[in-house]
Amino acid sequence: MKNTAITSPVAGIMRWGVWGANFTTAQYREMIETCLQYGIVTFDHADIYGDYTTEAEFGEVIKESPSLRHHMKLISKCGIQMVSPNRPEHRIKSYNTSRQHIIRSVEHSLQNLGTDYLDVLLIHRPDPLLDPAEVAEAIELLKEQGKILSFGVSNFLPHQVDLLAKYTLIEYNQVEISLMQPRSLTDGTLENCMRHRIIPMAWAPLGGGLFTDDSHPRFRAISLAANELAEKYHTGLNEILLAWLHTHPAGIQSVIGTTKIERLLQAKAAASIRLEREDWFRLLAASTGEDVA
């Protein structure tokens, strides 16, 4: 039986293709092999990345070297329909979580990635027209066929998770969490994850680039506190920002959307750092601009 556990950090692939670095196949290969060399084995995709091209570009490496697949775990997401020349049948950007769309999307992802299964499938966004029984039917069929091993959601609020969890097992919820966006601490998302034993994955865990924007109103306060703590813990700024997430008892995993291996190695180092309680609250106060009540 395949091991479905996902380890932190996760390499986010969104910017590897035309939405970012526009890697050649050789550059994809170099990045993949370097990640695997350093024990970063999980790669986070979505069918829409690169206007529906990035999965296939990544998959060229697997098709050339099928043995690489045995050393990696693949996540993909579906449910968003983008208007794109690569999907001329889409007339308007919308969501689609129908049974037919989920199954068709998975089959496209498998073909593009050069694999016969995904380790994890996520529904990319909450769909106002989501029928939980229909989603569950698609997921259970895909599991029975061995095409997906685990299932989760992305950007779902607690009440949306609760509804779908009555019909099928949810193991992951990928949401935006960082010191720049700590909303999940107070909207019930992380408590809901712990209640259902769902693993939360943080996208944009380093603030989506805002930590390099010194005009942001919270940049200076967070950076000052994080840099001082970096000295205390003998590490770097990014490691402290990520350690703040990993210290939370929900077991947050970071999805690092970068094209630079050094950022992923920083994330790997951060995975073993746990902040002292007062240090954690110091960063929270820097983020919110006030002490807790």
Which string of DSSP letters, residue by residue, matches 144-166? HTTSEEEEEEES--HHHHHHHHT
Buried b or exposed e, range 196-207, using 16+ CB within 10 angstroms:
eebbbbbbbbbb
Average pLDDT (75-83) is 98
Q: What 8-state DSSP symbol labels residue 210?
A: G
Position 226, amino acid = A
The two counts, helices (H) then strands (E), for the chain are: 11, 10
Plot region of 124 (φ>0 → left; ψ -120 to 50 → alpha; else → beta): alpha
- 232, two tokens: 């205390």
Neighbours of 34 (CB within 10 A): 13
Cβ(142)–Cβ(103) below 8 Å: yes
pLDDT-derived band at 213 (thresholds 50, 70, 90) equals low
pLDDT for position 7: 60
Count other C-beta atoms under 10 Å from residue 184's C-beta.
25
Distance between CA 52 and CA 269 in Å, rounded?
32
Do 247 and 280 meet the contact criterion of CB atoms below 8 Å apart?
Answer: yes
**Residue 163 structure tokens:** 């509804």
Q: Beta strand 80-81 with 94-95: parallel, antiparallel or unpaired? A: antiparallel
What is the per-residue pLDDT for 6?
Answer: 64
What's the mean pLDDT in 151-159? 98
Identify the pLDDT of residue 218: 81
pLDDT digits (tens, 9 = 90+) for 90-143: 999 999 999 999 999 999 999 999 999 999 999 999 999 999 999 999 999 999
Percent of the chain with pLDDT strictly greater than 90? 91
Determine which one of 28, 38, 49, 172 is catalytic.
49
Mean pLDDT of 10-22: 98
Is the pLDDT at 216 greater than 80? The verdict is no
pLDDT at 217 over 90: no
pLDDT at 1: 44
- pLDDT of 4 above 60: no
DSSP secondary structure letters along 15-56: TTSTTTT---HHHHHHHHHHHHHTT--EEE--TTHHHHTHHH
Is the model's pLDDT at 11 over the cut of 80? Answer: yes
Q: Is 49 a catalytic residue?
A: yes
Mean pLDDT of all residues in 214-239? 90
pLDDT of residue 212: 65
The whole-number pLDDT of residue 159 equals: 98
Whether the per-residue pLDDT at 270 is higher than 80: the answer is yes
Paired strand residues for 201: 174, 253
Mean pLDDT of 15-32: 98
DSSP assignment string, 85-127: TTBTT--S-EE---HHHHHHHHHHHHHHHT-S-EEEEEE-S--
